[in-house]
Amino acid sequence: MKKVVSTLIILSLIAGPVIVLAQDAGDACLQAQMDAERDVTGPLWFGAGCLFGILGVGAAYLIEPSPSAMSLLGKSPEYVAVYTNCYKNKGSSIQTKNAWTGCLIGAATETVIYLIYVALIAATYPYY
């Protein structure tokens, strides 16, 4: 009986901090995602994709957003690692989604303008 009780006590002493760290990591990731949604400028990346096309999309993939140092002050190293990783993942997702949307809308707009130009030229010079 003593062995069972001592084993349970040892397991609870080991499992307690692990559960707290897992909960802390989940909170860190959720907070990081909310902060990334607030901080990352979607319209900027939409404009980059629209104006620069595939180069804007490439920049969205290459430039990683980084969290502000103020949100990480006084946090544990595990919290900082999880927070930074989740922030970068969410921020990159926002950047690339908006850049691709801008790129596609920019390409569609250019195509429509080109087709209107061709139609005007065809109407102006019918036998050309």
Helix axes 77-124, 54-62, angle to 10 degrees: 180
Kindly tell me the number of DSSP H helices and DSSP E strands found in the chain. Answer: 4, 0
Contact indicator for 23, 76 with CB cutoff of 8 Å: no
Structure tokens at 81: 């690692």
**Cα 17 off chain centre by:** 30
**For residue 3, what pLDDT band results from cuts at 50, 70 and 90?**
confident
Q: Is the pLDDT of residue 20 over 50?
A: no
pLDDT surpasses 50 at 86:
yes
Q: Does residue 122 have a pLDDT over 80?
A: yes
pLDDT of 18 > 70? The answer is: no
Q: Whole domain around residue 113: which residue ranges?
A: 2-124
Nearest one of 64, 59, 125 to 92, comparing CA atoms? 64
The larger pLDDT score, comparing residue 58 to residue 25, is at 58
> pLDDT tens, 41-80?
999 999 999 999 999 999 999 999 999 988 899 999 999 9
What pLDDT is attached to residue 4?
61
Read off the tokens for 105.
């809308």
Helices 54-62 & 42-52, crossing angle to 10 degrees? 140
71: Cβ contacts below 8 Å, ≥ 6 apart:
31, 35, 83
For residues 8 and 69, what is the distance between their CA atoms, to the nearest angstrom? Answer: 41
**Total domains, the chain:** 1
